[in-house]
A and B are shown apart, each in its own frame.
Chain A
Amino acid sequence: GENVEQHPSTLSVQEGDSAVIKCTYSDSASNYFPWYKQELGKRPQLIIDIRSNVGEKKDQRIAVTLNKTAKHFSLHITETQPEDSAVYFCAASRSGGSNYKLTFGKGTLLTVNP
């Protein structure tokens, strides 16, 4: 089955700096890669996603890149703000049959220091 590795497990940056979180996946058939932000005690919230036919996607201060050959994808947050502090999870899934389950990475605790 799919295995998603995520690094780093914790990341501390100064407000205004950029943050980068990296994930690798094992199943070459995976074709959908969402990123979730989770605040303490809350549900995972989708912040950006990318499909395998696209190499990069950007939404304001957030961008995601995908390298299918190397089977890795990254989240980039620019101009970080204290409210970006949360746990970020990458995930992977593939279409097929009647199941589109998500396999999650272990998460990155991002702390943005004012």
Chain B
Amino acid sequence: EPEVTQTPSHQVTQMGQEVILRCVPISNHLYFYWYRQILGQKVEFLVSFYNNEISEKSEIFDDQFSVERPDGSNFTLKIRSTKLEDSAMYFCATLSSGGPGTEAFFGQGTRLTVV
């Protein structure tokens, strides 16, 4: 069964440092997302990406965040200057063709710990 792969599984970083989280989507998928889940809380939408551009971003996704798909395979989330409150599990999710009822496939997540 195809799956979305995320690396690293766990990253510890010092406050103020830059981090890059990586996702390899399922090969024929066209829609890419990053979600965040703070420990014990709900999954929150960060950003959606389609046709090589951001289609929507949430209030959480401020100027410290950016996404790109530089080589046509990896889909990355960069946090320029991490804060303590960025500590969370970050999930990448992808969809094939879109439309109502299209299943989102989630990666296994990257646990980011900012110290």
Which residues of A pack against B, CB within 8 Å? 31-32, 34, 41-46, 49, 51-52, 89, 91, 93-95, 97-107
Which of A42, A94, A102, A105 is the one whose CB lies under 8 Å from B104?
A: A102
Q: Which residues of B contact A95 (CB under 8 A)?
A: 98-100
Contact of B109 among A43, A49, A107 (CB under 8 A): A43
B72 CB-CB contact with A under 8 Å: no
In the assembly, what is the distance between CA of A49 and CA of B103, in Å?
9
Residue B41 CB within 8 A of the other chain = yes
A94 to B42 CA separation, bound complex (whole angstroms) = 19
Nearest CB of chain B from residue A4's CB, rounded to whole Å: 9
The reply to whether the CB of B2 lies closer than 8 angstroms to some CB of chain A is no
Q: Tell me which residues across on chain B come within 8 A of A49, comparing CB atoms.
A: 101, 103
Task: Contacts A34-B104, A51-B101 given; indicate if A100 touches B42 (C-beta within 8 A).
Answer: no
> Which of B31, B35, B91, B109 makes the CB contact (< 8 A) with A100?
B31
Chain B residues lying within 8 Å of A45, measured Cβ to Cβ, are 106
Q: Which of A31, A42, A46, A106 is in CB contact (< 8 Å) with B108?
A: A42
Q: Is the CB of B108 within 8 A of A43?
A: yes
Q: How many A-B residue pairs have CB under 8 A?
A: 73
Contact-residue size bin, chain B (C-beta under 8 Å from the other chain): 20 to 34
A43 touching B56, Cβ below 8 Å:
no
Given known pairs A43-B106, A98-B50, A104-B43, the reply for A52 and B100 (CB within 8 Å) is yes
A106 to B44, CA, bound (A): 10
Q: Given A104-B44, A106-B42, check contact A51 B100 (CB 8 Å).
A: yes
Pick 15 A–B contacts, CB within 8 A, sort by A. A32-B100, A32-B102, A34-B104, A41-B111, A46-B104, A52-B100, A89-B42, A95-B98, A95-B99, A98-B98, A100-B99, A101-B33, A101-B45, A105-B42, A106-B41
Inter-chain CA distance A93–B101, complex, in Å, is 9
